[in-house]
Amino acid sequence: MAKWDMPESLTKSLAQVLAYEYVNLRVLTEEQGAMRPAGADSWSRKEELGHLIDSAVNNHVRFAAASLQTEFSGPAYEQDGWVRAHGYHEMPWLPLLDSWRQHNELLLRLVKRIPEERLTVPCRIGSAHSVTLRFLIEDYVLHMQHHLDHILSREKVTQYPGAAAGI
């Protein structure tokens, strides 16, 4: 029987991002949430936060399945279509923010329970090359931080390897 206990380093970074950034996002007003920082053709802050909810949902399936299988292969995620389909721009900022937090708290609980020996499970997303479950988890946290940096208009925006890998 596998021990359900993820290495602390992987869960600690996700927990820290959630705790720290929720406070920073909470001070944004409804009007600021509706702004499109990168211009008229870009996502609004609400849409970008919605993208992070979609990312949590997609990765929840990936992480859970990969933790139970010998390998995982799943579809890529059509981010623009999902954001449009949900209509995140029309949603109120604070409930949207709470949804982001709740989805990630559930994901954190899942990640904490993944056995360490499952971190090497090969995972293929869409047509991208295979990576390990550990890579997917680490990349998820960096991807989230990248978008949070953008939402919060930070000068330095975190980069993440999955962008180059097509994940």
What lies within 8 Å, CB to CB, of 102 at 6+ separation is: none
pLDDT of 4 > 50? The answer is no
Report the predicted TM-score, pTM, of the whole model to 2 decimal places: 0.92
User: Band of the pLDDT at 2, cuts 50, 70, 90?
Assistant: very low
What the block records as the tokens of 112 is 């904490």
What lies within 8 Å, CB to CB, of 165 at 6+ separation is: 128, 129, 131, 139
pLDDT in tens, 15-34: 999 999 999 999 999 999 99
> CA neighbours within 13 Å on the CB side: how many for 112?
10
Question: Distances in Å between the alpha carbon of 160 and those of 30, 89, 99, 134?
Answer: 28, 25, 23, 14
Query: Cα angle at 110 between 8 and 166, to 5 degrees?
Result: 90
- Rounded to whole angstroms, how far apart are CA atoms 152 and 155? 9
pLDDT of 7 > 80? The answer is no
**Res 31: pLDDT:** 97
pLDDT in tens, 100-136: 999 999 999 999 999 999 999 999 999 999 999 999 9
What domains are there in the chain, each with its CATH number? 8-165 (1.20.120.450)
Which H or E element spans position 124?
strand 122-125
